[in-house]
Amino acid sequence: MKLPTFREARGAVGRWRRRLRRRVLEPVLVGHGTFRETVLNALAARGHLVYCRLGDAAFYVDPSDRAVGTQLMWRGHWQREEIERAIALLVQAGRLPAGAAFVDAGANIGTQTVYAMQSGHFARAVAFEPEPRNAALLRMNLAANGLTERVVVVEKAVGERAGAAMLHLHPRNKGHHTIGAPPSYDGVEQIEVAVVRLDTALADAGVAADAIGLVWIDVEGHEPEAIRGLGALLERAVPLALEYTPERLSREVSREFLALLRRHYQTLHNLSAPHDTKQPIEALATIRDAADVLIY
């Protein structure tokens, strides 16, 4: 039996020590939220980003983001199943034209735009994101996925009226910045952002009404205002996927919002439900918890 050389023995001990450290320390540092957040906050404080190569998609994320960033880093996706289900349902219903345009209102760092464009069902996209740091990551992520030439980025919020609004910034959830009430008790930062109507902005981007395949809206409780900003596009019943959060809406706003949708849409799919079923639009009134829904 040949004895290992000193170099081979030293290498074997080094590999054993690294495996031992990983087995002992990784469950503590990575498995415990407090330690994990300390490490990620230290990276963020130094201005670092984390690059996530996730199969067919790649994203730069802010390591201090406790929502989208955390999900991408540790789970490898962010609501990808929901958008893929929405696209499949529209194809099945014959509601997704060839060469369609995807519209992402509240695009954050671009996950849904990237997923939509990689589905092969959209020729171009328009992504709206008013927060400057998110918008910078959005542009980086489009470049990382080779989509810069096919996506127009509009660094503005969407609403019923063009103008300006105060955007309250969440200190930990970078996708939870809101217009209106502050999203957290300890958040104090706010910025003024420009607001545009979706119908006007899409016309300015050269997107024809009959080319719109899906409008994805996730604007943290500002969905009724964003949808009213579609104007005449509602008459065409352009397919909408939105984050519906009834607890954020007053009774009056909820009633008016549901009446608006009932005038233009017939079909509802709850994308957050484990077993999706086709329902009439009136079923939206029965949803009590936050859910991603598709209507057409």
The domain locations on the chain are 6-74, 75-295
What is the reported pLDDT for 216?
Answer: 98
* pLDDT tens per residue across span 183-232: 988 888 999 999 999 999 999 999 999 999 999 999 999 999 999 999 99
Q: What angle do CA 70, 68, 151 make, to 5 degrees?
A: 140
**Alpha carbon distance 123, 142 (integer Å):** 14
Residue type at position 224: P
What is the reported pLDDT for 187?
Answer: 85
Q: Per the structure block, which two tokens stand in for 8?
A: 């081979």
What is the reported pLDDT for 55?
Answer: 93
The DSSP line for 133-149 is HHHHHHHHHHHHTT-GG
* pLDDT tens per residue across span 55-89: 999 999 999 999 999 999 999 999 999 999 999 99
What is the reported pLDDT for 174?
Answer: 95
Q: How far apart are the first and last CA of the chain?
A: 74
- At a CB cut-off of 8 Å and minimum separation 6, what does 67 contact? 172, 173, 174, 175, 176
What is the reported pLDDT for 13?
Answer: 84
Which runs of consecutive H residues, i.e. helices, occur in the chain? 6-29, 33-45, 68-75, 80-92, 111-118, 132-144, 198-204, 223-228, 251-264
What is the reported pLDDT for 11?
Answer: 82
**Alpha carbon distance 199, 234 (integer Å):** 10
What is the reported pLDDT for 279?
Answer: 97
Closest CA to 217 of 134, 78, 123, 108: 108
Closest CA to 281 of 132, 53, 263: 263
Query: What order do you get walking across the sheet with 163-168 strand by strand?
Result: 157-158, 190-196, 163-168, 178-179
Number of H helices and number of E strands within the chain? Answer: 9, 14
Closest CA to 107 of 258, 215, 253, 199: 215
- At a CB cut-off of 8 Å and minimum separation 6, what does 85 contact? 269, 271, 276, 294
Residue type at position 65: D
What is the reported pLDDT for 3?
Answer: 82
- At a CB cut-off of 8 Å and minimum separation 6, what does 95 contact? 213, 239, 296
**Residue ranges in the chain modelled with pLDDT below 50:** none
Tell me the fold of 75-295: Rossmann fold (3.40.50)
What is the reported pLDDT for 255?
Answer: 95
SS3 226: helix
Q: Per the structure block, which two tokens stand in for 139?
A: 């542009």
